[in-house]
């Protein structure tokens, strides 16, 4: 099947992956049909058919972003971005995952809870709420109101009536960063046992994510905070509660060295050909 050949359209790899993923939902005949684009080569007909839908969704959100229902479309677009990200970026080993998630864990705590000590306000909360409506009273007593802008970098769910503008928010980073570990866990299950199981690494990571998000929501509900910040660094709960169950399960199964080094992702034939004494716990031959 011919691949899309793009000249100088400026598309990123993630955008091409998103288009190819959308095209995969179309019938088999459309997947194989191609259209000549002259000097730019050939493109799959399915990809060209998906383009108007993608542009229509993005354009509709932009034009109607202040409507009371626009949060739903923003969540759909945000979920698509997250799915494309975890499909494109993959962890090679648990070691890299622990290092990456650990650094993001510290970064999130600093930007939410500790940044007021240096910048007089929470940097992360300022960014997340930068598009909120506001008003200013001028010297002559006139009140100027600003409608604000929706920030297309988080998921939003209204608390009650959407017209009140009160939303629960979850940043896309709180999805894709733990999502990297969840997809790594699913790939390990597929490599070691042939399927991603609720009782395997994927199930352990998913249960940990659910527990971590519940803890973040509960902490926000009961106003457990530092420096008076009205918000929670979700990674404070999500990182330990996703890495912990996966690591513990791997330790109990005796597979922690394989996950740590990434050997668990190798096909069984390649794992059997690895030198004795390599990562995985084998002893050196005499």
- In sequence order, the β-bridge partners of residue 35 are 43
Give the separation between CA 195 and CA 265, rounded to whole angstroms.
13
Q: Which residues fall within 8 angstroms of residue 48, CB to CB, at 6 or more apart? A: 35
Which residues touch 7 (CB under 8 Å, ≥6 apart)?
37, 39, 40, 41
Return the sign of the alpha-carbon dihedral for residues 167, 171, 174, 179.
Answer: positive
The β-bridge partners of 169 are: 156
Cα gap 101→216, rounded to integer Å: 17
Identify whether 75 is a catalytic site residue.
no
Instruction: Name 237's Cβ contacts closer than 8 Å, sequence gap at least 6.
Output: 211, 212, 213, 215, 216, 219
**Active-site choice (75, 108, 140, 284):** 108
Q: How far apart are CA 243 and CA 259, in angstroms?
A: 12
CA distance 16 to 46: 12
Location of structure tokens 């803890």: 215
- Candidates 17, 140, 174, 189; catalytic one: 174
SS3 233: coil
Does residue 108 have an active-site annotation?
A: yes
Cβ atoms of residues 101 and 82 within 8 Å: no
Burial class (CB in 10 A: 0-12, 13-18, 19+), 85: buried
Active site residues: 108, 174
């Amino acid at each position: 099947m011919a691949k899309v050949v793009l000249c100088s359209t400026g598309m990123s790899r993630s955008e091409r992956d998103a288009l190819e993923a959308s095209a995969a939902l179309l019938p088999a005949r459309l997947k194989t049909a191609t259209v000549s684009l002259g000097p730019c080569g050939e493109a799959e007909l399915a990809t060209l058919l998906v383009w108007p839908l993608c542009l229509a969704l993005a354009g509709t959100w932009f034009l109607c972003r202040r409507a009371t229902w626009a949060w739903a479309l923003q969540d759909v677009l945000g979920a698509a971005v997250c799915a494309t990200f975890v499909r494109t970026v993959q962890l090679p080993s648990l070691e890299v995952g622990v290092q990456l998630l650990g650094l993001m864990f510290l970064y999130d705590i600093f930007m939410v809870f500790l940044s007021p000590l240096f910048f007089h306000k929470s940097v992360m909360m300022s960014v997340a709420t930068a598009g909120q409506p506001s008003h200013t009273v001028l010297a002559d007593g006139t009140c100027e109101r600003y409608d604000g802008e929706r920030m297309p970098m988080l998921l939003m769910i209204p608390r009650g009536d959407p017209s009140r503008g009160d939303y629960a928010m979850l940043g896309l980073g709180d999805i894709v960063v733990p999502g990297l570990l969840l997809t790594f866990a699913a790939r390990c299950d597929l490599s070691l046992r042939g399927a991603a199981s609720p009782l395997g690494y994927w199930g352990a990571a998913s249960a940990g994510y659910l527990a971590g998000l519940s803890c973040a929501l509960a902490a926000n509900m009961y106003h457990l905070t530092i420096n008076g910040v009205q918000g929670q660094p979700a990674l404070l709960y999500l990182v330990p509660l996703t890495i912990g169950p996966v690591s513990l399960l791997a330790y109990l199964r005796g597979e922690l060295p394989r996950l740590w080094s990434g050997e668990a992702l190798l096909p069984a034939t390649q794992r059997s050909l690895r030198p004795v004494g390599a990562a995985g716990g084998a002893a050196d031959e005499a």
